[in-house]
Amino acid sequence: MKLRVIFPAVILMVVLALIVQTLGFSFKSKVFPLTMAVPLAVLVAVQLVRETRSDEVIKDKFTGRQYLMVGLWIGAFLLSFYLFGFLVGMPLFNLVYVRLHRFSWLKTAICTALVAAMALAFYFALSHVDWYQGAIIELIKG
Amino acid sequence: MSDIITGVSYIWQPMTLLFIFMGVTFGVIIGIIPAIGGMTAMAILLPLTYGLDAQLAVVLMIAALSVSSTGGSITAVLMNIPGDDSNAPACLDGFPMTKSGHAGRAVAIALTASALGGLLGAMMLALLVPAVRPIVMAFGAPETMMLAVMGISFIATLSGKSMTKGMIAGLIGILLATIGYHPTTAITRYAFGWTYLFDGLPIIPMSLGMFGVAPVAELIGTGTSFSKVGNLGVTTQWSDTIQGIKDVFRYPWTVFRSFVIGTIVGILPGIGGSAAAWIAYGQAKAVSKHPEKFGTGAPEGIVASQSADNCERGGALLTTLAFGIPGSSAMVLVLAALLLHGVVVGPQFLKEHMSMAFTLTGTLAFANVIAAAILLVLSRQLAKITYIPGHIIGPFILVLMALGAFNMNGQVIDVYVTFVAGALALIMQRFGYSTVSLFVGFVLGEMTERYFLLAWDISGLAFLLKPIVLVLIALTILGTGYRQVAALVKLVVRMTLGKGGVRPA
């Protein structure tokens, strides 16, 4: 199956499910979403048929490996944030990322210090907000 | 006349100038940080103004608010990260210019257009103060709904190569806007019991995800800098900046249309700068001689959105002062500051404090000029950011986005929503669906539904026959089908007058 068929197919399934759910709402609640969802379902169905018949080649700006690397790095960023929070997780991610891309220790240290300073600036500026400290600290705190 | 002289002369007092300068500096810095817009700036400043004289307090707040969007346009142009959601349209043409090595020029266009918009908005504010009442009273729910529909209709012109894909993206955006509490029945829709979604998807994480994640992915994926063409010495020269300033004055009609759109949207409560910027952008593309250049680095696109956005502030301030109706969410806090200092706004304000109204008008104009001048001087230095290697600046922007998303409500989940929206944007771009169309639908969808239901409740479908609604419908058709209408008129004229435009004997 062509890769580009998947997107309209998924959207069509989601929209059909939404239409079914919307039918259960009161008139006022359903009139606007239905007015939008029904034409959307029709347009997506048309596009789905077009995609299955089309032979056009989509030019991609990334290779498969690059997609994987981007996904992994952003995943690592979110994991670092989840585990260690803002004040530790973000500078830590920056340190690992910059160093692994073969920048000197000096440049790595400067970048990490800048990120830490930015996180601290936000921390002090937004002292009214309950800052997320990371899953590990929260686990230790109980 | 004496009110004008008293009001304007107050601005030139050293203490007032100092407060304007402080407000401008604060507003620009706040604007540059993603997701912290005018509203946050006002929220931070409000408690600080408590001990101040009423006029100085409001001068400080207006100076900061009027330039917060100007600061936001810099990150929009240089990094594709809108400082505020109203800066998102500036990404569309500003960032491609940066990528093609014209960062200095793009920044200069954004700043000059912002300053010009702010100046025109202030002038309009001064002129309209005595005449605004009938305009506001003429715009009820049907007219406001039609204005939102006008914005949504530009999805067709923003669609890119495939109109079907553009319409699909726009409709997805509108449906995403219906998540959460229904505006009149308070029934929760599509939240699946998840309390986070009860108030709907938050706009800031959505805008950061839609516009910020894709360029960061490119930085991380390729390791190259934002600007891939040209060399640092050439593209950060003064000539590039001066060219950018000249570019704005090459499009006087675009500035004029944006000024009209910005003023009307600003006067109407509850719409906001984001709608003004998108409507102006769509309108500029619809009537441009080169619509195909929009989205690839067309100076006209930046001029349209930035001038409308800054112009909107003048209109919003007008209704705040003249009626006590805040023209935007940030104006609620300006209103609060005035009330805090014992100044009652509304018709009485214009009788008792007319000179203050002119001081604020002057502040609005002056702050815009100061902000643009300072940032234009710095624009060559700012443009150098785009030459920093991708592996250095990429993680820095990731952190900035996460902090920006978290800052809005202090919720960790907003950070994850940002990246989910970013993933959706990447998938959509990969398969040729316009993320811009989705975002326009998302921004204007909720407003359209709310005002549609209000209009329906008042007069059923008969609201479509109201004179202003009919004019707006005509403008919408003209705006989206401008080329087709022009071709049709040409054809009719030719058929009537014969070939060459000469009436047959």
Other beta carbons within 10 Å of B298: 24
Amino acid B28 reads V
User: Mutate which of B152, B163, B220 to disrupt the A interface (most A C-beta within 10 Å)?
Assistant: B220
Of B314, B264, B277, give the one whose Cα is nearest residue B144.
Answer: B264
Of A29, A66, A130, the CB nearest to B410: A130
B490 touches chain A (CB under 8 A): no
Residue of A nearest to B397 (CA): A115
Report the pLDDT value the prediction gives residue B503, as an integer from 0 to 100: 47
Contact predicate B426/B214, CB 8 Å = yes
Percentage of residues in chain B having pLDDT higher than 90: 8
Q: Could you tell me which residues are beta bridge partners of residue B188?
A: B181
Q: How far is Cα of residue B118 from the mean position of the Cα atoms in its chain?
A: 12
pLDDT band at residue B454 under the 50/70/90 scheme: confident
The predicted structure's pLDDT at residue A2:
73
Give the pLDDT of residue A16: 96
Q: Of B133, B86, B184, nearest to B444 (Cα)?
A: B86
Question: Would you place residue B78 in the very low, low, confident or very high pLDDT band (cuts 50, 70, 90)?
Answer: confident
Are B189 and A29 inside 8 Å of each other by CB?
yes
Q: Is A111 on the interface with B (CB under 8 A)?
A: yes
b (16+ CB within 10 A) / e for B394-423: bbbbbbbbbbbbbbbeebbebbbbbbebbb
Nearest CB to B164; choose among A28, A47, A132: A47
- CA angle A126/A129/A133 to nearest 5° reads 105
Alpha helices in chain A (DSSP H): 3-22, 27-53, 64-84, 90-100, 105-125, 135-141
What confidence score (pLDDT) does residue B498 get?
62
Residues of chain B positioned with their CB less than 8 A from the CB of A126: 407, 410
* pLDDT confidence of residue A81: 92
Quick check: B35 pLDDT over 60?
A: no
Q: Confidence band (pLDDT; 50, 70, 90) for B505?
A: very low
- What confidence score (pLDDT) does residue B458 get? 84
Please tell me the total number of residues recorded for chain B in this structure.
505
Which residues between 107 and 166 in chain B have a beta carbon less than 8 angstroms from any beta carbon of chain A?
164-165
Measured between beta carbons, which residues in chain B are less than 8 angstroms from residue A61?
A: 218
> CA-nearest residue of chain A to B431?
A4
pLDDT for res B229? 47
Q: B403 and A7 in contact by Cβ < 8 A?
A: no
- Cα B77 from Cα B32, distance rounded (Å): 11
Minimal CA–CA distance to A80: which of A71, A91, A66?
Answer: A91
Give whole-number Cα distances, B339 to A95, B342, B363, B469, in Å: 49, 5, 19, 35
pLDDT grade for B302, boundaries at 50, 70 and 90: very high
| pLDDT above 70 (res B23) | yes
Provide the number of CB pairs (under 8 Å) joining chain A to chain B. 132
Q: Are B172 and A25 inside 8 Å of each other by CB?
A: no
Q: Which chain A residues are within 8 Å of B412, Cβ to Cβ?
A: 132
Check if the beta carbon of residue B260 is closer than 8 Å to that of residue B132: no
Full 3-state SS string of B56-84: HHHHHHHHHHHHHHHHHHHHHHHHCCCCC
A92 band by pLDDT with thresholds 50, 70 and 90:
very high
Q: Could you read off the pLDDT of A17-60 as tens digits, one per residue?
A: 999 999 999 988 999 999 999 999 999 999 999 988 887 777 77
Count other C-beta atoms under 10 Å from residue B35's C-beta: 28
- DSSP assigned state of B342: T
Distance CA B183, CA B148 (A): 16
- Could you say which residues from 16 to 75 on chain A have a Cβ atom under 8 Å away from some Cβ of chain B? 18, 21-22, 25-26, 28-29, 32-33, 36-37, 39-40, 43-44, 46-47, 50, 58, 60-62, 66-67, 69-70, 73-74
B376-402 average pLDDT score: 79
Q: What is the pLDDT of residues B186-210, one digit of tens each?
A: 889 998 888 999 988 987 788 788 8
d(CA B77, CA B103): 7
Q: Is the pLDDT of residue B130 over 70?
A: no
Q: Find the helix or strand (DSSP H, E) in which B189 lies.
A: strand B188-189
Cβ proximity of B68 and B348 under 8 Å? no
What is the mean predicted confidence (pLDDT) over B383-400? 80
Q: What tens digit of pLDDT does each residue of B238-268 get?
A: 788 888 889 999 999 999 989 888 888 877 7
CA distance B87 to B373: 19
Over the Cα atoms of chain B, what is R_g? 23
Task: Out of A37, A78, A90, name the one closest to residue B419 (CB).
Answer: A78
Q: Could you read off the pLDDT of A15-28 as tens digits, one per residue?
A: 999 999 999 999 88
What are the CB-based long-range contacts (under 8 Å, 24+) for B281-284? B281/B89, B281/B92, B281/B154, B281/B158, B281/B305, B281/B308, B282/B151, B282/B153, B282/B154, B282/B155, B282/B157, B282/B158, B282/B440, B282/B479, B283/B154, B283/B257, B283/B258, B283/B479, B284/B254, B284/B257, B284/B258
* Residue A20: closest CA among A5, A41, A1, A2: A41
Asked whether A52 and A5 are in contact (CB, 8 A), the reply is yes
Q: Is A130 on the interface with B (CB under 8 A)?
A: yes
Most B CBs within 10 Å, among A14, A74, A115, A138, to test the B interface = A74
pTM, two decimal places: 0.74
Q: Over the stretch B82-114, which tens digit does the pLDDT of each residue have? A: 777 778 888 888 888 888 888 888 989 998 998
Surface-to-core class of residue B72, CB atoms within 10 Å of its CB (0-12 exposed, 13-18 middle, 19+ buried): buried
Residue B202 corresponds to which tokens in the numbers above?
Answer: 């938050």
Beta bridge partners of B181: B188
Contact flag B174-A119 (C-beta cutoff 8 Å): no
pLDDT tens digit sequence for B431-451: 888 887 888 788 778 878 888
- Report helix, strand or coil for A118: helix
CA–CA separation, B144 vs B472, rounded Å?
10
Is residue A137 less than 8 Å (CB to CB) from chain B?
no
Interatomic CA distance for residues B269 and B254, integer angstroms: 24
Nearest CA in chain B to A91: B399
Instruction: Indicate the pLDDT class of residue B234, thresholds 50, 70 and 90.
Output: very low
Instruction: Report the residue from B168, B428, B452 with minimal CB separation from A32.
Output: B452
For residue range B409-433, list pLDDT tens digits in order: 788 899 999 999 999 998 898 888 8
Give residue A119's pLDDT: 84
B447 touches chain A (CB under 8 A): no
- Kind and range of the H or E run holding B207: helix B203-222
Distance CA B26, CA A80 (A): 32
What does the alpha-carbon distance between residue B35 and residue B209 come to, in Å, rounded to a whole number?
11
Residue to test with chain B: of A11, A29, A88, A112, most B Cβ within 10 A:
A29
| Cβ pair B358, B3 in contact under 8 A | yes
Most confident stretch, A32-41, B74-83, B276-285: A32-41
pLDDT band at B504 (very low <50, low <70, confident <90, very high): very low
> What average pLDDT does the structure give for chain B?
80
**Cβ of residue B430 closer than 8 Å to a chain A Cβ:** yes
Q: How many CB atoms lie within 10 A of CB B180?
A: 18
Give yes or no for a contact between B83 and B72, defined as CB atoms under 8 angstroms apart: yes
Residue B178 contacts A, CB cutoff 8 Å: yes
